[in-house]
Amino acid sequence: MILILTIENDVSTNHIIDWLDYYKTNWTRINQEEFTNINHKNILDYLPYFKKAKVVWYRKWKKQYHLSNYTEIQEIEKFLFYTARKAFWLNRPEDINITKQIQLDIAVQAGLLTPKTIVTNNKKELTLFKNKYNNIICKKFTGNSFILKGETMHAKYTERVNNEDIKYIPDSFE
């Protein structure tokens, strides 16, 4: 069984789950919000899922430092993760702060084909890169990124960059 640890609004995980269903793969999803909004006894109800897991996908699991019972939840979380220690972990809790740049480097070291990459906040460099490779994507490092198109603010996700997008980017951007 694949145990998926994520958050409620993780749309990318929903797409992966569609593939798991297509391939008739047994999976269980635990959203972190439901985990932190229940009492200790109910949290331990999750123990069988951690014990049965052959694979754990530690997708998006945030630390809830604002919770009054954070320390207790953290200790129970450690115990649950410990019970799945023999499972194959796709991302581990200690790896949660690995950056996209590190992920790309690991992929290269593993011999995976990776796209040409540029890290820039300069419109001119971006335009040259776009002209050279044509089909490019924009992927933010962390946090929220926005771009102003006319009077409308748009959130930036991983998406294709087109010439229209570049037109609205300032000469220097974050």
pLDDT in tens, 113-143: 888 888 888 899 999 999 999 899 887 766 5
Domain of residue 103 covers 98-174
Distance CA 106, CA 73 (A): 32
- Domain final residue pick, 57, 73, 96: 96
Report the pLDDT value the prediction gives residue 16, as an integer from 0 to 100.
92
Q: How many CA atoms lie within 13 A of 100 on its CB side?
A: 11
Distance CA 19, CA 27 (A): 11
Helix, strand, or coil (residue 170)? coil
The answer to whether residues 92 and 7 belong to one domain is yes
Report the pLDDT value the prediction gives residue 130, as an integer from 0 to 100.
93
The answer to whether residues 106 and 88 belong to one domain is no
Helix, strand, or coil (residue 130)? helix
Q: What is the CATH number of the domain that holds 49?
A: 3.40.50
- Domain final residue pick, 80, 96, 112: 96
Its pTM stands at 0.58
The answer to whether residues 22 and 84 belong to one domain is yes
Computed over every residue of the chain, the mean pLDDT equals 82
Report the pLDDT value the prediction gives residue 111, as an integer from 0 to 100.
86
Give the pLDDT mean for 78-91. 90
